[in-house]
Amino acid sequence: MTETLDYTNNTNYKPWRYYYRLIRSANTVISTLGGNDVTPENDENKHLMGQAKALRAYCYFYLTQFYALEYEPSKEILPIYTEPSQPNQPKSTTADVFALMEKDLTDAISLLDNFTRTGKHQVNKYVAKGLLAYVYATMEGDKLTQVQSLTEDIITNGGFTLMDSTEVVYMGDASVGGFRDVSTPGWIWGVDITLDNGLDLVSWWGQVDLFTYSYQWAGDKKAIDAGLYDAIPADDVRKGQFYSDAGSSNYLIPINKFYPADRTIGAQRNVETDYVYMRLAEMYLLHAEASAKLDQDGAAQESLKALVSHRMADASYIDGLSGQALKDEIYLQTRIELWGEGKSYLAMKRNKATIVRGSNHLSLVGEPIPYNDPRLTFEIPIQEIQNNPNLDSGNK
């Protein structure tokens, strides 16, 4: 965690370039369809406009998470671009960036109301509602009631189901589970990866999957933190997602969470396993989190139990939790359920958490690291500062 402290390091530039290029593409679509304030007349263009606005908000959301230490409404954090060929812009405040995301996503939900997608790679109104729930969960305050209503709607009306035990952990049948199939009913948004995509070593699967011929297989191990693993109860099926032989170099890697149908080590050289971007479990956890922060312990317990009861035989212990203990359990369950999926980082920031590095880390073992430690957030890259005369330096 040193590259993030050096704004000249290219690590800081990659996500900046990636998201702003997507924003530029979204702005081009929106402009072609008439502009930010136009509602297209025909359904096809309405749906395209809705998807473009949702994706623009998605990009700004991740930029706020990666380049700002925390949610501070008055702090200037990012340039805003809403047109495809705008000149360089100065940094806007957190409040302004979040207002744009809120407007884009509420527009998208309306524009996509009657859209029926042909694949889960397409953004529909439930994806937009899920993104808006994340935005509101970050803002907290009176927005938390809207997190509740958005997640309730997705859970009740979206047509998705929670992944069961056989889908979240390998139990001897490699034809199911593995977080590899976009058609899994618990997935809200994802991409069907095929050989035509040309995905191989440099991929998410290459980073985490022992059965893909890439980094994990070659020895660049990605494993669950030992402290978090120890916090998973013995009767929780998710404990079985991780390799438990402490004498092996594969100790605590997610060998039974992420895997292809062929569980031969290093066998998948051309990736066909799919990408998941959002799933229903997130909505249960967000609903529980928002309810607990609103001091609605009963609603929080109900949502959390609905998920945890799919992971262990008896989730009744949740009935005895309230206040901070309940909030802590929801955060813990979020870290366990969504390990390796890119969502624990967001939860850490929302919940202002401190992580203690476990014994299986190579460095900083036992060190408590708070959510707003500068090492956990990117710097605005030197390329932007040099090319945008309206920025000075850094963002912290």
Q: From CA 232, how far away is CA 329, in angstroms rounded?
A: 11
Q: From CA 251, how far away is CA 232, in angstroms rounded?
A: 15
The answer to whether residue 394 scores a pLDDT higher than 70 is no
Can you state the angle between helices 323-337 and 280-293, rounded to 10 degrees? 160
Residues whose CB falls within 8 Å of the CB of residue 102, separated by 6 or more in sequence, listed in order: 132, 135, 136
The answer to whether residue 396 scores a pLDDT higher than 90 is no
Tens digit of each residue's pLDDT (9 = 90 or more) over 297-347: 999 999 999 999 999 999 999 999 999 999 999 999 999 999 999 999 999
Per-position b or e across 268-298, b if 16+ CB within 10 A of its CB:
beebbbbbbbbbbbbbbbbbbbbbbbbebbe
Tens digit of each residue's pLDDT (9 = 90 or more) over 184-235: 999 999 999 999 999 999 999 999 999 999 999 999 999 999 999 999 999 9
Two tokens, residue 338: 């969504």
Q: From CA 377, how far away is CA 383, in angstroms rounded?
A: 17
The mean per-residue pLDDT over the stretch 232-254 comes to: 97
The mean per-residue pLDDT over the stretch 46-69 comes to: 98
User: Average pLDDT of the chain?
Assistant: 97
Q: Write the DSSP assignment of 334-350 as a string of letters.
A: HHHHTTTTT-HHHHHHH
Q: From CA 152, how far away is CA 300, in angstroms rounded?
A: 12
Contact 104, 26 (CB under 8 A): no
Q: From CA 236, how far away is CA 308, in angstroms rounded?
A: 9
Contact 256, 178 (CB under 8 A): no
The mean per-residue pLDDT over the stretch 356-363 comes to: 94
Tens digit of each residue's pLDDT (9 = 90 or more) over 10-25: 999 999 999 999 999 9
Interior CA angle at 161 toward 306 and 177, to 5°? 105
Residues whose CB falls within 8 Å of the CB of residue 76, separated by 6 or more in sequence, listed in order: 90, 91, 92, 93, 94
Tens digit of each residue's pLDDT (9 = 90 or more) over 121-155: 999 999 999 999 999 999 999 999 999 999 999 99
Residue 375 has a pLDDT of: 97
Q: From CA 293, how far away is CA 146, in angstroms rounded?
A: 13
Q: Which of 163, 183, 171 is nearest to 310 (CA)?
A: 163
Cα→Cα distances 362→244, 250, 294, 370, Å: 18, 14, 39, 19
Residue 195: burial class (beta carbons within 10 Å; 0-12, 13-18, 19+) = exposed
Give the H or E element holding residue 189.
strand 187-191
Q: From CA 259, how far away is CA 245, in angstroms rounded?
A: 18
Count of C-beta atoms within a 10 Å radius of residue 2 = 9
- Which pLDDT band holds residue 392 (cuts at 50, 70, 90)? low
